[in-house]
Amino acid sequence: MFRLEVSHLQALTTFSLQIVSNNKFDTSILNRINGEKRKREKDTQKRWAKFTYCGKETRLVTKLFKNTNVKVVYRTKNNLGKLLKPQNIPKSEKYKKNGIYQLECLTCHKKYTGQTGRPFCIRYREHYNDFKYSNNRSTFAQHVINEGHSFGPVKEITNVIHYERKRKMLDTLEKFYIYGETKNGNQINDRLTVQSNPTFETIVKHFP
């Protein structure tokens, strides 16, 4: 068993091309094969680095690798799989957090989905006061009043869906859960605000 050095291989390739050319054959196919081979050899020399994307700082750092053989790929912690997985929060802290919540009517079991940047217990109290004083600010309170249904205590009607700080992600999560309840014909939110969404549709279809 013998091993050809790189210089020998290059010489052999040149010799093969010369033979093909002298015999008046098309050398384009052989050139293309050699070009693809060189590209594969170049790609195998590249190294890859993975960064968790956290904004412009990430881009500034990764620019340092622009003229090197290191290729950069990004990953994120905010993918749907992680956002929608169950969150383990102590029961004693449950209503002291903020994020996405649902109020469930004790009579018809339809649900109102909302978001809040304040504790869930405070947001529940606001809905209850709107019911108690017949204000028109709470859609859930109006449903209970108009239908003559019951308004229960916080632990019976408030379902904590997702804990999240007040930011743009809350808007997306709220729309997603409203979309899911709308598909089930079970929401109290305004149906006119729900638009067709292929991404939400795919998630609801595979994870009902």
pLDDT tens profile 49-75:
766 666 666 666 667 667 777 777 766
Say if residues 113 and 161 touch (Cβ distance below 8 Å). yes
Report the pLDDT value the prediction gives residue 93, as an integer from 0 to 100: 79
What would the mean pLDDT of 165-174 be, rounded to a whole number? 80
Say if residues 121 and 95 touch (Cβ distance below 8 Å). yes
Of 100 and 91, the one with more pLDDT? 100
What would the mean pLDDT of 92-118 be, rounded to a whole number? 92
- Answer yes or no: is pLDDT of 87 > 90: no
Report the pLDDT value the prediction gives residue 164, as an integer from 0 to 100: 79
Say if residues 94 and 120 touch (Cβ distance below 8 Å). yes
Please report which confidence band the pLDDT of residue 122 belongs to, taking 50, 70 and 90 as the band edges: very high
Give the span between the Cα atoms of 110 and 122, in whole angstroms. 21
Report the pLDDT value the prediction gives residue 2, as an integer from 0 to 100: 42
Report the pLDDT value the prediction gives residue 124, as an integer from 0 to 100: 96
Strand ranges (E), the chain: 47-52, 70-75, 99-104, 111-116, 158-163
Report the pLDDT value the prediction gives residue 4, as an integer from 0 to 100: 43
- Answer yes or no: is pLDDT of 31 > 70: no
Contacting residues for 149 by C-beta, under 8 A, at least 6 apart: 105, 106, 107, 108, 143
- Answer yes or no: is pLDDT of 32 > 90: no
- Answer yes or no: is pLDDT of 88 > 60: yes
Please report which confidence band the pLDDT of residue 184 belongs to, taking 50, 70 and 90 as the band edges: confident
Of 11 and 148, the one with more pLDDT? 148
Domains of the chain, CATH where assigned: 46-77 (no CATH), 81-206 (3.40.1440.10)
- Up-side HSE of residue 64: CA atoms within 13 Å toward CB? 6
Say if residues 135 and 129 touch (Cβ distance below 8 Å). yes
Query: How many other C-beta atoms lie within 10 A of the C-beta of residue 30?
Result: 15
- Answer yes or no: is pLDDT of 20 > 90: no
Torsion of CA 25, 31, 36, 42, to 10 degrees: 150
This prediction's pTM:
0.58
